[in-house]
Structure 1
């Protein structure tokens, strides 16, 4: 998959699955956000982070805040048709409610300004995409890889066979999950780079159901698996 001539590392639908008019794409150089058919690009070097927020809608809140008290004042003083003023008051209160309820936003913070994309729901898919993109952008060398632990004895046997055989899905981790953490001496930290090796990474729902976790469920040639010597 390519976007604007660049190979896509990861992508995620902003709204419902399959909605090609609202999609995020991550490449080596840029983050592309297609929002309501309009494509916006952000150079990865200029992005601080991708976050999610809940924002109040100021326009309906302010408009309703003006309409409601004025209509109540007119209603109490019989300035105009009472039914019209009553309807205006209800409409104003409804606008204030909509503004107070607000909406969720995906925020792309750059060195220049913050860009807001209003979304209906913050899905686990979108959270996982943002987590991966943030790590990838902040630390390209480590962030683009996925990690897992394996017993050293089993790893030596695997290297001798030339194939990493995985009879059942193996849970992978992002660098942020593993960096700086110690592991048993009889285990080794290994990494795979799905971008360089063209390895198919699938995702399953995390037990707490608030995000997705990457897994591999097929055999991989050992030359695509790297031993991690440093844990920063």
Structure 2
């Protein structure tokens, strides 16, 4: 069969087939969904952690140094995500995506973001200074978080496929992670409004988040923060 005919057949089949959908209570694994119109629906929070200015890093440094920055950032982010109960769903170059479920999903995701900021500020950048005394590079990053219903399906072809996360949280978290790195964490109002008070107000009464308009998107209220949370802090 010619490729054009094969593609027409497969596209028509996807649009024609009835979806088999079910509510999920865990993050689905790749092999828990069929390549056909099979989906799991989740009430979930999505986190994207993105290394800022990675193009400039790659253009201005030798590949080995850039790789060390990538590796240390993604390693710290992944360990913190798992500690906070998140499930890593994708690595995409210089960023990582994670999904959180359960009643405390927004607090866990926000605490993850603040802990990633701690790791970047107090672990990775000091390690760069220690190993490379003359290096002027300073790691910056941005984390975006949103919460919504998600429709999870398997996409691709046999032997080369992955899960696709359809829903506002996946899109908004990615967009928030692309905002300016003057702030390290951006969350939607839906996430902020359900945070544990410990993640809203510091012990001395200072607010940990600032409300702003998302003026380069749809003018909704979002929250940003430069706070960090010690990875060993007892909560």
TM exceeds 0.5?
A: no
Bin the TM-score by the shorter chain: under 0.3
Q: Which has the higher strand share?
A: 1
TM-score, normalising length from structure 1?
A: 0.22
TM-score, normalising length from structure 2?
A: 0.22
Choose 1 or 2 for highest CA Rg. 1
